[in-house]
């Protein structure tokens, strides 16, 4: 660029007025650090464009009515971390490298996604050799994940190829640019204030929940949330946590590992049978009201009222809001926690919104459980990692996450429709459930089919699914749980034709 333009740009733009610098906001004794931070922010958000010239130290000092040493010190710090360069007569100019254009989102690679997490030794592969879907033990999900499959329809993951890599990197860069050194130390076990605030705002915008950020606890996903809840309830003498039937096998195994009995409560077309919940006498229940797993049923108004009444009479609701933001043909269902503050421990995560690999989730407990749950989180791992929390907070507050959600929702809907078409074409006897929302659908078969044999046959043909009976405590109609969000329409159509073949294999 032409230097005279820099100077003009510099003069016209980079003054204290344009930057709206307010020295009175600086902490006592921290003027230079404050100014450096202000300038970094201005560079990060583009008010100070790349190549633009900063005012001379004397000029800026005069405008800010601070000593020239303060400005020199601030410029020095920005020079040290590469934001600006001093070029003699050319003056001091903004030199931070711009973020590259985002790369086109990658489609899933050809290598079977089922290999994700296959440990570098052969042990899991070896265990896959003995894979017995019929007997899902504690590490069945690790085993399944390690099982090679050409098309992975494991439910519970969004379109991983759509992870916003460039936006994530850009947000992290912005966070690192003006992060204080102390943020790299041990943090608040309940989570960084920035993310707790961002999640509170997210829940207000998207889930009808009004939460004080300081009531939120950041955790490593819903799985850890349930572990901490079991520990705290257990120390209160609670050893029984009713679950939905059908309901997530993984959650049920997890609760049992952490010492809970899990009496089943049937789910019908209106959702959880609250009358049966009462009969169990269980003091607490784990529910997925917005989009029940695996049936996809929405807890209807009457049942919500019954469930809240049960809670008001002393029951504790653990609300797993696992994929409520993914909806296609219906308005969003507000969270129960939005209507009932005292008797609900609400939990959700970023796993279905962005990626499970981020291991970030949140818990919104009633005030009386808050301290015990924070202590449990501290004793588990001293709190989540800081940098990813701050990066996610940046994505949430900038609107990037909502943008991402709108983007994947369109893709998910198209994929769901492709799967439903393929099912009606190739599996005419199957009934589709829970397609109005979420990342998966469930199909059931009228005949007396062994769905574990079906899932095994499908896996043998290269398609990974979950047999519905895994998620049943009491026998019901056989079926499969099919995740569609992470696969392309072409893959989904091929997968269904292969499942149809597998269905013939076992019929």
Q: Which of residues 101-130 bind its own copies (CB under 8 A)?
A: 103-111, 113, 115-121, 123-124
Site for its own copies in 128-167 (CB under 8 A): 138-139, 141-142, 145, 157, 160-161, 163, 165-166
* Range in contact with its own copies (rule: CB under 8 A) among 42-50, 176-184, 289-297, 330-338: 176-184
Site membership for its own copies, residue 41 (CB under 8 A): no
Instruction: List CB contacts of 189: < 8 A, sequence separation 6 or more.
Output: 374, 377, 378, 382, 383
Q: What contacts 24+ positions apart, CB below 8 Å, involve 30-37?
A: 31/66, 31/70, 32/69, 32/70, 32/73, 32/74, 32/77, 33/74, 33/77, 35/64, 35/66, 35/70, 35/71, 35/74, 36/73, 36/74, 36/77, 36/78, 37/178
Tokens for 420, please give them.
Answer: 């439903």
Helices (H), 116-164: 123-129, 140-146
d(CA 130, CA 132): 6
Map the footprint of its own copies across residues 224-253, applying CB under 8 A. Answer: 224, 227
In 233-271, which positions are buried (b, 16+ CB within 10 angstroms) versus exposed (e)? beeeebebbbbbbbbbbbbbbbbeebebebbbbbbeebb
Q: State the binding string over 193-222 for its own copies (x if CB under 8 A, else -).
A: x--xx--------------xxx-----xx-
Out of 383, 467, 478, 479, name the contact with its own copies by CB under 8 A. 383
Closest CB 310 distance from its own copies, rounded Å: 29
**Contact string 476-505 vs its own copies (x = CB under 8 A):** ----------x-------------------
385 binds its own copies per the rule CB under 8 A: yes
Q: Which stretch binds its own copies (CB under 8 A): 178-186, 318-326, 435-443, 447-455?
A: 178-186
Please, what is the minimum distance in Å from the beta carbon of residue 8 to its own copies? Answer: 31
Contact 92, 75 (CB under 8 A): yes
Among 50, 302, 381, 431, binds its own copies (CB under 8 A): 381
For residue 288, what are its two tokens?
């997925």
Smallest gap from residue 354 Cβ to its own copies (A): 8
284-287/316-320 β-pairing: parallel
Question: What SS3 state is found at 287?
Answer: strand
Output the smallest distance, CB 186 to its own copies, in A: 5
User: Site residues for its own copies, window 78-97 (CB under 8 A)?
Assistant: 80-82
Question: Contact between 359 and its own copies (CB under 8 A)?
Answer: yes
For residue 428, state whether it binds its own copies (rule: CB under 8 A).
no
Q: Which of residues 48-67 bind its own copies (CB under 8 A)?
A: none
Closest by CA to 337, choosing from 234, 219, 241, 207, is 207
Site mask for its own copies (CB under 8 A), range 434-473, x = bound: ----------------------------------------
């Amino acid at each position: 660029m032409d230097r005279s333009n820099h100077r003009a740009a510099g003069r016209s733009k980079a003054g204290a007025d344009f930057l709206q610098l307010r020295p009175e906001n600086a902490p006592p004794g921290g003027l230079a650090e404050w100014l450096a931070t202000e300038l970094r922010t201005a560079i990060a958000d583009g008010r100070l464009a790349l190549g633009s010239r900063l005012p001379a130290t004397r000029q800026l000092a005069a405008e800010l009515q601070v000593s020239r040493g303060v400005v020199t010190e601030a410029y020095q710090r920005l020079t040290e971390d590469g934001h600006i360069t001093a070029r003699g007569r050319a003056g001091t100019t903004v030199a931070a490298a711009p973020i590259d254009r985002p790369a086109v989102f990658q489609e899933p690679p050809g290598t079977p996604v089922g290999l994700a997490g296959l440990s570098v030794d052969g042990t899991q592969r070896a265990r896959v050799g003995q894979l017995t879907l019929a007997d899902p033990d504690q590490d069945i999900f690790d085993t399944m994940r390690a099982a090679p499959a050409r098309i992975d329809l494991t439910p519970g993951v969004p379109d991983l190829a759509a992870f916003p890599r460039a936006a994530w990197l850009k947000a992290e860069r912005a966070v690192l640019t003006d992060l204080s050194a102390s943020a790299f130390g041990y943090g608040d076990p309940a989570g960084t204030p920035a993310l707790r605030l961002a999640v509170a705002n997210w829940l207000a915008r998207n889930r009808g929940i009004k939460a004080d950020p300081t009531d939120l606890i950041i955790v490593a996903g819903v799985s850890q949330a349930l572990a901490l809840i079991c520990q705290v309830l257990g120390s209160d003498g609670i050893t029984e946590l009713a679950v939905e039937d059908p309901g997530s096998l993984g959650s049920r195994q997890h609760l049992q590992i952490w010492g809970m009995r899990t009496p089943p409560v049937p789910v019908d077309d209106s959702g959880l049978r609250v009358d049966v919940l009462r009969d169990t006498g269980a003091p607490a229940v784990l529910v997925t009201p917005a989009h029940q797993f695996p049936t996809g049923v929405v807890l209807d108004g009457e049942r919500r009222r019954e469930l809240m009444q049960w809670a008001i009479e002393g029951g504790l609701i653990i609300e797993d809001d696992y994929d409520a933001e993914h909806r296609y043909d219906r308005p969003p269902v507000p969270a129960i926690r939005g209507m009932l503050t005292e008797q609900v421990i609400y939990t959700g995560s970023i796993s279905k919104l962005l990626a499970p690999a981020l291991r970030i989730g949140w818990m919104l407990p009633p005030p009386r459980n808050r301290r015990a749950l924070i202590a449990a989180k501290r004793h588990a791992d001293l709190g989540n990692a800081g940098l990813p929390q701050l990066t996610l907070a940046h994505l949430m507050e900038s609107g990037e996450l909502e943008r991402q959600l709108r983007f994947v929702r369109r893709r998910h809907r198209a994929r769901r429709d492709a799967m439903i078409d393929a099912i009606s074409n190739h599996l005419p006897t199957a009934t589709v459930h829970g397609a109005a929302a979420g990342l998966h659908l469930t199909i059931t078969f009228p005949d007396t089919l062994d769905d574990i044999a079906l899932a095994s046959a499908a896996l043998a043909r290269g398609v990974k699914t979950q047999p519905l009976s895994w998620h049943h405590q009491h026998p019901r109609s056989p079926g499969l749980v099919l995740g569609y969000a992470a696969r392309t329409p072409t893959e989904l159509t091929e997968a269904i034709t292969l499942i149809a073949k597998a269905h013939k294999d076992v019929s």
